[in-house]
Each structure stands twice: as structure tokens, then as C-alpha cells.
């Protein structure tokens, strides 16, 4: 309770208070007070608006990609794979979590670099890799946070009785029709639970953007660039992902899926 109430919530309160302060344009000294100028600037400056929308879009793209990959993988692991293969895949999914964050991000930086492994594989086909940019950032973030989506989806698949699939097959439904009409409604809580992690973690990440994002600006990079020059503006911009995540959690709660976990 002390960790939650003092260190976490307390730091957020201080962040929110600082967002209403200002910075002296001549001395760069932070001036305590109350002003809405920082929030007005975030809401009216097109560059900040585009950065916020781009960051939310990237987080949604990462969540969608992780969900698309987790669905067939979870189905295979839970209903098709042998126990030995299931164990191998479970280790393969969770083992990257033991590696350092920077090690994983830097490995993707090497992969997407000009003349790197991806270009080497695609050159015989007359193609080139995407290089550093938004696409590379989405792939990297999907790799980083995929276990947080794959594990709950796999666990949810394991809880679906096999006789539901058998009954669907007896009624003439094909494989993916069964998945769409029988499994997906039952997997909704797992997808929402996984999306909370993939969405929020992608929304607040900025180190990956610095390594593989190229010129792509996200909320985190803007905050990092202003933390020394204009701390109140950085604090105001930092409230944007907090508000977005709170709204996302509210929508997830309203869907009722979290109550089924």
C-alpha cells in the first residue's frame, strides 16, 4: 500500500501539479504557479497533436498484430501440439522475457539497418527492408510485448472444452468458422487482458523509437527532449498517455470482459 499510495500515485500527483507550472523563457527556471498554457500548447500545436495520434496509432497497431499472431499460436499450442511441442513453444514465448530490454531492441536495430540481415535476405528477391521508421518500430514493439498477449490467449484456449469444437464440427462448421463463432467470443476477456499490456507498454515506450524509429516521433521522445528545457511542458505531455490508458481501462471495464477473467 505504501508503494502504491506514496511512490506511484504520489509521483503521478506531483507530475500533474508540475504540468500547471511554467518556465522562464530567459533563465529556463521552473516557476511554480497555475497556468493552462502547457495544455493549451499540446492541444493547439499541430506537431504535438500528430505525435499523440501517431503514438496511439502505433500502440493500436502493435496490439492488433500481437492479437493476430496470438490467435493461431494459442490454438495450435492448446488443441493441436503434442505436450513436448507445447512445452517447447511455451519456453520459446517466455524465454525472451529473460533477455535485457536493450539487448532485444538493439538486435532489431541491427536487423533493420541498411545492409543488415533483413536486406541480405531480401536482396536476392529484388527487395529491400523497410529501414528505420514506423514499420520497424511496430515490429520491434510487437516482439517486445507479444508474450503478454500470447500467454493469456493460450491459457484461455486451454480452458475451452474440446467437446465444443467437436459439436461445432458435427454441425458442419469448418475449422476457422468454429474458431470465429465458438472460440473468439470465449477468448474476448483474454484478448482484452493482453491488450491492456501491449497497448499501455507501447504507448509509453520511447527507447525503441530512438533505436529503430528513425525520424518517427512518439510521445516519449517529445517528453525526453523537453525534460530539461521545459519540464512543465514535458509533465503536461506526460499526462496524455496516462489519460489515454485510463480511458482504455474504463472501456475495457465497461465491456464486462475483465469480470470474466
Is it the case that residue 131 has pLDDT exceeding 80?
A: yes
| 149-158 pLDDT per residue, tens | 999 999 999 9
> What is the predicted pLDDT for the residue at 261?
55
Is it the case that residue 198 has pLDDT exceeding 90?
A: yes
Q: Name residue, grid cell 482504455.
A: 248
Strands (DSSP E) along the chain, which ranges? 22-23, 30-31
Q: 19, 11, 8: which is closest to 240 by C-alpha?
A: 19
**Please, which pLDDT band fits residue 27 given cuts at 50, 70 and 90?**
confident
Contact 20, 35 (CB under 8 A): yes
CA dist., res. 62 & res. 66, Å (int): 6
DSSP lists the bridge partners of residue 22 as 31
**Please, which pLDDT band fits residue 1 given cuts at 50, 70 and 90?**
confident
| 2-24 pLDDT per residue, tens | 777 777 888 888 889 999 999 88
Find all residues with CB under 8 Å of 194, minimum gap 6, and list them: 66, 67, 70, 148, 149, 150, 151, 152, 153
Work out the average pLDDT over 162-170. Answer: 84
| 70-99 pLDDT per residue, tens | 999 999 999 899 999 999 999 999 888 888
Domains and CATH numbers, the chain: 1-255 (1.10.3720.10)
**Please, which pLDDT band fits residue 259 given cuts at 50, 70 and 90?**
low
Work out the average pLDDT over 200-216. Answer: 93
Percent of the chain with pLDDT over 70: 98
> What is the predicted pLDDT for the residue at 110?
94
Amino acid at each position: 500500500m505504501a508503494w502504491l499510495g506514496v511512490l506511484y500515485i504520489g509521483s503521478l500527483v506531483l507530475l500533474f501539479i508540475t504540468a500547471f507550472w511554467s518556465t522562464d523563457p530567459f533563465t529556463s527556471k521552473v516557476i511554480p504557479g497555475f497556468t493552462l498554457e502547457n495544455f493549451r500548447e499540446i492541444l493547439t500545436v499541430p506537431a504535438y497533436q500528430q505525435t499523440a495520434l501517431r503514438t496511439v496509432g502505433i500502440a493500436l497497431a502493435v496490439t492488433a498484430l500481437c492479437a493476430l499472431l496470438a490467435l493461431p499460436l494459442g490454438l495450435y499450442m492448446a488443441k493441436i501440439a503434442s505436450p513436448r511441442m507445447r512445452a517447447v513453444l511455451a519456453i520459446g514465448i517466455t524465454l525472451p522475457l529473460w533477455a535485457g530490454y536493450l539487448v532485444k531492441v538493439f538486435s532489431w536495430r541491427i536487423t533493420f539497418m541498411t545492409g543488415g540481415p533483413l536486406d541480405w535476405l531480401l536482396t536476392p528477391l529484388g527487395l529491400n527492408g523497410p529501414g528505420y521508421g514506423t514499420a520497424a518500430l511496430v515490429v520491434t514493439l510487437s516482439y517486445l510485448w507479444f508474450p503478454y498477449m500470447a500467454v493469456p490467449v493460450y491459457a484461455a484456449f486451454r480452458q475451452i472444452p474440446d467437446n465444443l469444437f467437436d459439436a461445432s464440427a458435427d454441425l458442419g462448421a469448418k475449422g476457422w468458422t468454429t474458431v470465429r463463432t465458438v472460440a473468439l467470443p470465449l477468448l474476448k476477456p483474454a484478448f482484452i487482458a493482453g491488450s491492456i499490456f501491449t497497448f499501455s507498454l507501447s504507448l509509453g515506450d520511447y527507447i525503441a523509437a530512438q533505436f529503430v524509429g528513425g525520424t518517427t516521433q512518439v510521445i516519449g521522445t517529445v517528453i525526453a527532449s523537453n525534460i530539461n528545457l521545459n519540464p512543465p511542458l514535458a509533465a503536461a505531455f506526460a499526462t496524455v498517455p496516462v489519460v489515454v490508458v485510463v480511458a482504455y481501462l474504463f472501456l475495457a471495464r465497461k465491456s464486462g470482459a475483465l469480470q470474466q477473467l
